Amino acid sequence: VVTCKCTSFPFSLLCLQVIKCKAAVMWEANKPFSIEEVEVAPPKAREVRIKIVATGICRSDDHVITGALVMPFPIILGHEAAGIVESVGQGVTSVKPGDKVIPLFVPQCGECKSCLSSKGNLCSKNDIGSAAGLMPDGTTRFTCKGKAIHHFIGTSTFTEYTVVHETAVAKIDSAAPLEKVCLIGCGFSTGYGAAVCTAKVEPGSTCAVFGLGGVGLSVVMGCKASGASRIIAIDINKDKFAKAKELGATDCVNPKDFKKPIHEVLIEMTGQGVDYSFEVIGRTETMAAALACCQYNYGVSVIVGVPPAAQKITFDPMLLFSGRTWKGSVFGGWKSKDSVPKLVADYMQKKFVLDPLITHTLPFTKINEGFDLLRTGK
């Protein structure tokens, strides 16, 4: 930060400089990340520039690479991170340089209908639906080799420095370990919240969780914290069952072990189906199966995994007519700016654990190896 005293004005202007740093740029779909030197512009009014200390990788990032989630290229992906505020633009009041923060891919403007309603959390200022890949003013803060680089859902954390809008950043406990609480930026909060916030799982309930990645395991943790008496974990990778049981699963089921559809297996296991089911994969087939395995009259099924682009679901409407509820959950239903600091505080008070969700820690330059581990289920 350079303070310039300009003789033509009776006050000091704060002149922020462009930062050159490393970033993992995705130039086009289905190609590896390229570690590049990028230029990160100073934050404009109500914007915050953050030094990223730790970032997780998420299946949603991989969906962009494969085209399942359509975004403009070139782009800097990443949305699950924690860092330290480097500088702020004019008018920023909620954070200051030196604060530990978590970027928010679901912002909280506090003014739109969803923010003002107790029923919702998907702020209208989000860039998930429009996929513009730009800051709210319609421009980008990233440049590489003379080319403008797109942002990813308002966060872009696969870079040493990023710029976000003030509505998309939460100040957290200064003692929080950033290499762990970065998971609260997406994976943990999304899964845990789907159970405790979106579904509102009740004590004694029976739950089914489809998919045992980091988000699915967080759903298991949320179901256990809510007092579920039976938590059935479903995955085609049996290597994930031990961790699921460690975090609260009572049963583990591999659909490959059965000749009949998995929803029929679950109905037989539970009598009339589960009280709550969660699809945490992002496949239309498992979304339909998760709905069908619910109790026919009052079962609730929650879609947590990002749906693939340009795909539709065909299902028997009687599944809903009989009384089931089908819900979606973005970021676990949490109002981000309000809830993330509280979730970090709960972690610091040991109300939940994060360590079991961290399988590998790699240097930033090995991000492609990290995605290989993700794709092989490791």
Residues recognised as catalytic: 58, 60, 63, 79, 186
Which is it for the CA torsion 70, 76, 77, 80, positive or negative? negative
CB 247 within 8 A of CB 356: yes
Cα 25 to Cα 315: distance, rounded to the nearest angstrom? 39
Instruction: Cite the DSSP H helix spans in 240-362.
Output: 241-246, 262-270, 284-292, 318-321, 336-348
How many Cα atoms are found within 13 Å in the side-chain-facing hemisphere of 289? 22
Annotate 93-131 with b (16+ C-beta within 10 A) or e (fewer). eebeeebbbbbbbbbbbeebebbeeeeebbbebbbbeeb
Question: Strands 147-149 and 2-4, how do they pair?
Answer: unpaired
Closest CA to 25 of 154, 148, 168: 148
In the sheet that holds 325-328, the strands lie side by side as: 251-253, 230-234, 206-210, 276-279, 300-303, 325-328
CA dist., res. 278 & res. 211, Å (int): 9
Closest CA to 55 of 80, 74, 23, 30: 80
Residue 75 buriedness (CB in 10 A; 0-12 / 13-18 / 19+): buried
Indicate the helix (H) or strand (E) that contains 53: strand 47-56
The two three-digit tokens of residue 75, written as one number? 């782009």
198-221: b (≥16 Cβ within 10 Å) or e: bbebeeebbbbbbbbbbbbbbbbb
